[in-house]
Amino acid sequence: MIKLICSDIDGTLLNAKRELSEKTIFEITKLKDKLPIVLISSRMPSAMNHLQEQLNITNNPIVAYNGGLIIADKKIKQSTAIPFELVHKIINLNQDHLHLSLYNNNDWFAPQLDHWAERETKNTKVTPTIKSNNEVLEVWQTSHTGAHKIMCMGKAELITKFYDLMSKNFSDDIHLYRSKDTYIEIAPKQISKRSAIEFLIRTEFCLNMSEVMSFGDNFNDIEMLKASGLGVAVGNAKEEVKLIADKTIENAKEDGVANFLNAYFKRGISFKNY
């Protein structure tokens, strides 16, 4: 019996315009009073809140930064960041001057308003504070503030070079996700979307992972889909994600999640079987 739905956002829940379609809003709104629906993403909280509002699920928890920040009842329940010292080392390794955006809670610091920052602003509806990496380090140094996420963006060949360099130096300390060949998302090693769901079902919902339905499309969704009672990959997911999923559905651009939810729960009398 499914008692909790968890869904990734980008590449999974949003359409070609990087928005929630009317069908997705309709299907999730139908279910919101029957079981909790949790958005779980690499995004910062403020880039998720407006989607929660559209879906009318603002009373539900959100999981930001791939599990690095868990918020429930409008309060931070768990926060795991890349330590300040490690952030400093990563910045010092950036000899090719790739774009490194630094995130902590709802703060997004971009080194300049270049086309990378403009693209993220368009996609997430959030505007960064323009501040160099070293300026951010100066602000964070006193309190030893860490980064919930570091987003690295640049030419594919330079991104590959930087990825290999970080893998060699920090493989025991950080997760490295390449959502595109021009992106690297850097997160603390000890967290994942799976660990975030396990935290929520233990502290907020009193459920088992077997009662969780999850949706995803990328490498950072694999652990979550494998651990869930029903792990669902959208049709546009990476092949590695499809291989471990219990089911593959239509593409995100074709309202795959909405169509699946409608089919799964259409009998209405029971959530036990599909």
Question: Span 36-46, mean pLDDT?
Answer: 97
Residues 212-267: tens digit of each pLDDT: 999 999 999 999 999 999 999 999 999 999 999 999 999 999 999 999 999 999 86
Q: Is the pLDDT of residue 117 over 50?
A: yes
Beta strands in the chain (DSSP E): 4-7, 37-40, 62-64, 69-72, 75-79, 99-104, 107-110, 129-130, 149-153, 174-177, 183-188, 212-216, 230-233, 247-248
Could you give the CA distance from residue 123 to residue 268 in angstroms, rounded to a whole number? Answer: 35
Mean pLDDT computed over 122-149: 96
| pLDDT confidence band for 179 (50 / 70 / 90) | confident
Domain 84-188 sits in CATH at 3.30.1240.10
- The correct answer on CATH 3.40.50.1000 for the domain covering 4-79+191-265 is yes
User: pLDDT tens for residues 64-94?
Assistant: 999 999 999 999 999 999 999 999 999 999 9
Domains of the chain, by residue range, sit at 4-79+191-265, 84-188
Quick one: pLDDT at residue 267? Answer: 63
Residues in the chain: 274
Q: Is residue 15 pLDDT above 70, yes or no?
A: yes
96 confidence band (pLDDT: 50, 70, 90)? very high
Quote the mean pLDDT of the chain: 95
How far is C-alpha 37 from the chain's CA centre?
Answer: 15
* Cα-trace Rg, the chain: 18
- What pLDDT shows up at residue 31? 96
